[in-house]
Amino acid sequence: MDDSKFLKDVRVRIAPSPTGFLHLGLARTALFNYVFAKKNKGKFILRLEDTDQKRSEPKFEKDIIENLKWLGINWDLGPYRQSQRIPVYARYLEKLLKEKKAYYCFCSQEELEAMRQYQLSVGQPLRYNGKCRGLSENEIKKRLAASKQSIIRFKMPDKKIIFHDLIRGKLEFDSSLLGDIAIAKDLATPLYNFACVVDDFEMKISHVIRGEDHIPNTPKQILIQEALNFPNPKYAHLPLILGPDRTKLSKRHNACAVAEYRKQGYLPETLVNFMAFLGWNPDTEREIFSLSSLIKEFSLEKVQKGGAIFNIKRLDYLNGFYIRQKSLDKLTESCLPFLIEEGLVEPIFESEERMPNLTGYLGKEIVQKYVVKETKERITFDSLKKIVGLYQERLKKLSEISEFIDFFFKEKLEYYKDLLKWKDMSNDDVKDVLDKLEEILSGLELDKFDKENLEKVLMLEAEKRKDRGELLWPLRAALSGKKASPSPFEIAEILGKQKTLQRIKAARENYVTI
């Protein structure tokens, strides 16, 4: 392969704060970083920015890690945790303090608030007014010794910052509008912009690819880099993700956490394909991209500036597509957690295998035997496969599976009024048909009870009537208890002779009483 196509020494990262679940925006940022790294034979790093001890929680960290893995977005290095790197930041903070590029500020909350109010009233930009910039060494020592409340501020140089964003082109900022920003609460508590700059340097990050909402941080970070004599990474700010109403995607749109999509039965390959189009446009009609094809095709030049609109119809379309693509083995395996969660079946563990749950995985070996919870009958993975297979074509989300196939696992079905009637059939007509069906099917030998034979025998009978539906509808409804289902032949084959006959009888008996 021609290596000259690759950018050299690409190292990118995502740097989530574990203060919330992995949401679609962050997952999209992770995806773009991942494919960019892989395309350029670089490294993708996961860094957890957990210096805000109050808001960071292990459950969020776990969620971020688990769901990135589920999506197949694997990192090469990390996860690094900023909370474990405090001495590194302290070293650089001390350096800036020593070189007088940063200083201690002792202004109280009240003073800062008064400053803000004043600036608001005279229409000045809101920024720190530099009051503590000129404190003498002695004064600082005295105040620190007296444990006066303080923070560390960066002495913002007065200059224009211009940087070239790989997506947006030239961006210009005036640093005088920023004021002396806080970079740490104290030596052991760095704040975001500072810790981020130090880590991007220490981790040799070549490209910072992140959401557009971070554009205001970039000039601050560039100036801190300059103060520390660090090289600047390249920047690419991804467009915001917008809801269908064109406002920033948020909880309001019910479309945030990746775990939520997973729980609803979207496949990881669907989400990856879907997220790729949230801002990236390959300039072709092609809609289907797997992770590996994205690695080949992705480029930052084809990322748009304008907001990327979230379209749930496309998500459903893609999910249906990927469900149809799956091997029946894999599809059944993916459906199983939903069937278990719904209480339809339970795996029979023969060894020390882990109990599955919706967010977990069934273990490396697929459990081969299950018990139907309601009837206590055993059912094999292969039989489940047959049942799931009936719905592969029409399934849009895995979570729909239980509702589709629950009738296979029930002891007794309930038939609501008129369900068994085709068009203008009377009660007596239905009863007669069910009698006829019982007669024909009980005469069919066990080894002939497969869908081909069932179809042959039953179609012969159905054709005798003015409308085939008069036989096929009551049969299908009697076996499934549903208005819509696969053909009665397919259902009868799976149910087997005994159950099929039982259901026909039960339908006739129950039908009389409704």
**Residue 191 near ligand GLU by CB under 6 A:** no
**Residue 25 near ligand GLU by CB under 6 A:** no
The least distance separating ligand GLU from the CB of residue 36, rounded to whole angstroms, comes to 14
The least distance separating ligand GLU from the CB of residue 133, rounded to whole angstroms, comes to 27
The residue among 205 and 379 lying less far from ligand GLU, judged by its C-beta, is: 205
**Residue 43 near ligand GLU by CB under 6 A:** no
**Residue 17 near ligand GLU by CB under 6 A:** yes
**Residue 16 near ligand GLU by CB under 6 A:** yes
Q: Are 503 and 413 contacting, i.e. CB atoms less than 8 angstroms apart?
A: yes
Q: Among residues 36, 37, 43, 49, which is the contact residue for ligand GLU, using CB under 6 A? A: 49
Q: Are 333 and 362 contacting, i.e. CB atoms less than 8 angstroms apart?
A: yes
The least distance separating ligand GLU from the CB of residue 217, rounded to whole angstroms, comes to 7
The residue among 50 and 455 lying less far from ligand GLU, judged by its C-beta, is: 50
Stretch of residues binding ligand GLU (CB under 6 A), selected from 15-23, 134-142, 422-430, 481-489: 15-23
Stretch of residues binding ligand GLU (CB under 6 A), selected from 11-19, 36-44, 114-122, 179-187: 11-19
Residues numbered 140 to 179 that lie near ligand GLU (CB under 6 A) are none
The residue among 195 and 315 lying less far from ligand GLU, judged by its C-beta, is: 195
The least distance separating ligand GLU from the CB of residue 100, rounded to whole angstroms, comes to 27
The least distance separating ligand GLU from the CB of residue 259, rounded to whole angstroms, comes to 17
Angular region, 425: left φ>0, alpha ψ -120 to 50, beta rest: beta
Q: Among residues 23, 38, 39, 214, which is the contact residue for ligand GLU, using CB under 6 A? A: 214
Rounded Cα–Cα distance for residues 22 and 257 (Å): 6
The residue among 16 and 268 lying less far from ligand GLU, judged by its C-beta, is: 16
**Residue 23 near ligand GLU by CB under 6 A:** no
Q: Report residue 32 as tokens.
A: 């773009």
**Residue 51 near ligand GLU by CB under 6 A:** no
Q: Are 94 and 187 contacting, i.e. CB atoms less than 8 angstroms apart?
A: yes
Sign of CA dihedral 120, 125, 128, 129: negative
Q: Are 55 and 19 contacting, i.e. CB atoms less than 8 angstroms apart?
A: yes
Q: Which residue has the tokens 């600082």?
A: 140
The residue among 196 and 257 lying less far from ligand GLU, judged by its C-beta, is: 196
**Residue 15 near ligand GLU by CB under 6 A:** yes
Q: Report residue 30 as tokens.
A: 């992770």
Sheet with 151-154, side-by-side order of all strands: 102-105, 151-154, 182-186, 189-190
Q: Are 416 and 454 contacting, i.e. CB atoms less than 8 angstroms apart?
A: no
The residue among 27 and 388 lying less far from ligand GLU, judged by its C-beta, is: 27
Please, which residues bridge with residue 208 across strands? 235
The torsion angle over the Cα atoms of residues 477, 479, 481 and 485, rounded to 10 degrees, is -70
Residues numbered 437 to 496 that lie near ligand GLU (CB under 6 A) are none
The least distance separating ligand GLU from the CB of residue 196, rounded to whole angstroms, comes to 5
The least distance separating ligand GLU from the CB of residue 214, rounded to whole angstroms, comes to 5
Q: Among residues 39, 153, 207, 210, which is the contact residue for ligand GLU, using CB under 6 A? A: 210
The residue among 259 and 398 lying less far from ligand GLU, judged by its C-beta, is: 259
The residue among 19 and 325 lying less far from ligand GLU, judged by its C-beta, is: 19
Stretch of residues binding ligand GLU (CB under 6 A), selected from 12-20, 380-388, 399-407, 479-487: 12-20
The least distance separating ligand GLU from the CB of residue 49, rounded to whole angstroms, comes to 4
**Residue 196 near ligand GLU by CB under 6 A:** yes
Cα angle 320, 75, 30 (rounded to 5 degrees) comes to: 55
Going from the C-alpha of 267 to that of each of 70, 72, 149, 250, 261, the distances in angstroms are 9, 11, 51, 21, 8
The least distance separating ligand GLU from the CB of residue 81, rounded to whole angstroms, comes to 12
Rounded Cα–Cα distance for residues 415 and 477 (Å): 8
Q: Are 184 and 153 contacting, i.e. CB atoms less than 8 angstroms apart?
A: no
The residue among 60 and 370 lying less far from ligand GLU, judged by its C-beta, is: 60
The least distance separating ligand GLU from the CB of residue 16, rounded to whole angstroms, comes to 5
Peptide bond preceding 474 in cis form (omega within 30 of 0): no
Question: Residues of 272-307 as b/e, b for ≥16 C-beta within 10 angstroms?
Answer: bbbbbbbbbebeeeeeebebeebbebbebeebeeeb
Q: What DSSP state is assigned to residue 8?
A: T
Q: Contacts with ligand GLU: how many residues (CB under 6 A)?
A: 8
Question: In terms of DSSP bridges, do strands 241-242 and 345-347 run parallel, antiparallel, or are they unpaired?
Answer: unpaired
Rounded Cα–Cα distance for residues 192 and 153 (Å): 13
Stretch of residues binding ligand GLU (CB under 6 A), selected from 14-22, 125-133, 264-272, 468-476: 14-22
Query: Where does this chain bind ligand GLU (CB under 6 A)?
Result: 15-17, 49, 192, 196, 210, 214
